[in-house]
């Protein structure tokens, strides 16, 4: 069987964030022997974690870039130096795992710029590299430094991968227009069976909408708009259920 090394910073189980849940739902159907994972150590990951969701494969850990440079000049230079060193660490870790684990290809999640180190390691070792983009790579809503870095790195990252996976047809069309690159759509993996109970508890005559995922600054306004439309238009006969790992965000 072909052995795959999956590389990310925090976007893999046991992290409880959108991309990690998508990857967990997908990878639980694959035999554990055909893939290994390299990611940031769970103890150092800031987001919520569920160790019951850890996959049965072999895990390897490294540090990952923080990409947040606050404070005085010396502190910022120190953090930048740390991240440069960490990128080198990820690169060398990839090379070592590729050799020791007889890795045939890499599946890389665009996450905290670890994809840059993984792509270079894959290219130098002659392995195929598949890249998954949980979102559009260059997003101007990010912080100023990250904004500039992603704008510079995007062409290299997108064009260096043997195949790029995106999450929607809209993103697929975006990259065709931007770079003329064909991508593959890897839809979000939601287990519909798990939400049938939710759908069946309400009035069967109602149009039921179930949202699963994180509620954060990027989609909070959209969710508020949707609830407003449902509240102000009873003729739609619709209801909304939100299933999220961050219930405090709903209260807020």
CATH topology for the 4-185 domain = Rossmann fold (3.40.50)
Question: Which residues, given as ranges, of the chain have pLDDT below 50?
Answer: none
pLDDT in tens, 53-79: 899 999 999 999 887 777 888 888 888
The four Cα atoms 175, 110, 211, 186 give a dihedral, to 10 degrees, of 60
pLDDT of residue 244: 76
Rounded Cα distance between 135 and 3, Å, is 26
Domain ranges of the chain: 4-185, 192-251
Structure tokens given for 57: 């494969």
Q: What is the pLDDT of residue 202?
A: 54
Q: Which two tokens stand for residue 138?
A: 């260059």
Structure tokens at 132: 């998954």
DSSP 49-85: B-GGG--SSEEEEE--------SSHHHHHHHHHHHHH
The tokens describing 226, both together, are 């949707």
pLDDT of residue 71: 80
Cα angle at 243 between 237 and 245, to 5 degrees?
Answer: 155
pLDDT tens, residue by residue, 213-234 = 778 777 888 889 999 999 999 8
**pLDDT score, position 56:** 93
What pLDDT is recorded for position 117?
A: 96
């Amino acid at each position: 069987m072909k052995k795959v090394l999956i590389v990310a910073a925090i976007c893999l189980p046991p992290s409880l964030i959108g991309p990690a849940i998508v990857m967990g739902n997908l990878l639980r159907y694959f035999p554990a022997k055909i893939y290994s994972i390299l990611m940031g150590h769970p103890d150092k990951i800031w987001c919520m974690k569920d160790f019951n969701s850890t996959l049965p494969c072999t895990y390897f850990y490294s540090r990952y870039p923080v990409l947040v440079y606050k404070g005085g000049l010396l502190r910022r230079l120190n953090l930048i130096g740390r991240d440069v060193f960490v990128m080198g660490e990820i690169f060398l870790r990839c090379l070592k795992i590729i050799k020791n684990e007889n890795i045939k290809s890499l599946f890389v999640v665009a996450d905290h710029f670890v994809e840059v180190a993984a792509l270079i390691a894959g290219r130098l070792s002659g392995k195929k590299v598949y890249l998954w983009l949980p979102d559009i790579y260059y997003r101007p809503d990010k912080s100023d430094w990250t904004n500039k870095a992603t704008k510079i790195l995007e062409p290299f990252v997108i064009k260096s991968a043997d195949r790029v996976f995106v999450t929607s047809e809209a993103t697929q069309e975006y990259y065709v227009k931007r770079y003329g690159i064909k991508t593959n759509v890897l839809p979000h993996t939601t287990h519909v069976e798990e939400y049938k109970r939710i759908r069946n508890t309400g009035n069967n005559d109602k149009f039921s909408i179930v949202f699963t995922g994180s509620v954060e600054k990027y989609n909070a306004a959209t969710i508020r708009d949707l609830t407003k439309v449902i509240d102000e238009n009873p003729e739609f006969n619709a209801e909304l259920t939100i299933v999220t790992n961050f219930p405090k965000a709903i209260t807020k």
